[in-house]
Amino acid sequence: MIVNLNKFIFLLALLTIVNLHAQAKCGSGQFMQKKEYKKAVFTYVSVISRKIAKQLDDNIASDKKASLYVYIEPIVNLYEPKKASIATKKIDENLLHAMFIKGFKLISVKSPKANSEMIATYINYKSGMLINARIIDKKTKEIYTSAQIFVTKKELKSINKIYGKYSWFSQN
């Protein structure tokens, strides 16, 4: 039931973005309201974050999850680890909330209390971005859970359009 609800919310957000984008381009006298567009994109970013959090939650043993205190690292480029995109920064912020709602115990700063960390990377492709996330033990480097999601180029451009930047996306 929850999976179907998530799919419905995801599709609704995507259709809203496509509809608003089409209204802005069609010249039919209807103009896209910036507020509506932002809300649709926020909803889409939220859905991406919830999907990652759900996969992380689904793939972890409950006894292991109960003992973890997770520090979340920013989502970075696999090949340039100091580089993050605008889209991944937005997903990062929403992911904190999505993981909290799923019952993960989160640590906001690196500290001795954080016994694990979520590390996530992205890879750009011509058709979009692949995001991989995993929660690992800080000492042993054992992977407790992982998640993977693909976001299309069109969807990423919608996320980034609000902020007026597209330069992060590799066309190669």
Residue 2: band (very low, low, confident or very high) from pLDDT cuts 50, 70, 90: low
> Residue 23 burial by CB count (10 A; 0-12/13-18/19+): exposed, middle or buried?
middle
Give yes or no for residue 26 having a pLDDT over 50: no
CA distance 71 to 65: 13
| CB count in 10 Å sphere of residue 143 | 13
**Architecture of the domain whose range is 2-161:** 3-Layer(aba) Sandwich (3.40)
Model pLDDT for residues 27-76, shown as the tens digit of each residue: 444 444 666 666 666 777 888 999 999 999 999 998 999 999 999 999 99
> Measured between alpha carbons, how far is residue 91 from residues 35, 59, 98, 116 in Å?
19, 20, 10, 20
Give yes or no for residue 146 having a pLDDT over 90: yes
Map out the domains of the chain as residue ranges.
2-161
pTM (two decimals): 0.74
Predicted pLDDT at 84: 85
Model pLDDT for residues 83-108, shown as the tens digit of each residue: 888 788 889 889 999 999 999 999 98
Give yes or no for residue 150 having a pLDDT over 70: yes
